[in-house]
Amino acid sequence: MHGQRCSSETEECENTAHKGMTPAAQEEELVTIFADPDAYNTKHLLNMPWKFFYTRPMRDWGAGVVYLNTVDTLEDFVIFLKRLDLVGLEQYYAINLFREHSKPEWEDKTNKEGSRTRITVTNPEESSSIFWAAAVLAVGESFGKTGAYVNGVRIECKGDFRRVELWYSKDIRKQDVEEIHRALERETKVRIKPTDFCLHVDPRRRPRRDDKSRPRNFEKDTPYGK
């Protein structure tokens, strides 16, 4: 099977297995997984591996995070994602897709002092479609340069509604968030409001306005704080 690497800057795939191939193999027509899910003959390497987790409701959040799988090609990503029952998620359970060195935990060093976009919908099928779009844009580095700030994507069942979240590193700026929102809106037709953006601050532990120990960027420094 041929190997290709996708580049977000050139929007082209560089053949990484061309050297050493026979002329016949080089002339073989490449078939992608999107053209034929059962008979594709090429794989596209992701810029970095991504990991799937699911989280279950537990008093100790860390104990509820369960590793599922690591994918490093677009094809393996699509195959594994299709196996997950996003529509039938149980209440308070979540599916998470994060970069290789990140975890779906606020305390993780890649997410600490970071932020997220929360998209809330009531239709399970719609939430699944939004998660699919966000995940494909993230692993394919299709958010452009701002995609480097996206640490992960998750979908969670909250009872009567579903929530799709994109988690960002602490260095993301207002224009970066807006660019990510526009890209996702183009793919899903969902409208993302400024208030859908927030910091990783537990509401139960939210500090007072006069608390000098409050987190960096708590209110006035958030992209949509003013």
pLDDT digits (tens, 9 = 90+) for 175-202: 999 999 999 999 998 999 989 999 987 5
**Single pTM value for the model:** 0.77
The CA–CA distances, whole Å, from 39 to 43, 99, 130, 201 equal: 12, 28, 27, 47
The DSSP code for 191 is P
Place of tokens 């704080």: 225
Instruction: Report pLDDT for 201.
Output: 73
User: What gap in Å lies between CA 197 and CA 178, rounded to an integer?
Assistant: 10
Q: What is the pLDDT of residues 113-129, one digit of tens each?
A: 999 999 999 999 999 99
Apex 157 CA angle, 80 and 177, nearest 5: 80
The pLDDT assigned to 61 comes to 62
What are 119's two structure tokens?
A: 């998209």
- Name the residue ranges covered by the structural domains of the chain: 47-205
What tokens appear for 191 in the block? Answer: 């409208």
Percent of the chain with pLDDT over 70: 75
What fold characterizes domain 47-205?
A: RNA Cap, Translation Initiation Factor Eif4e (3.30.760)
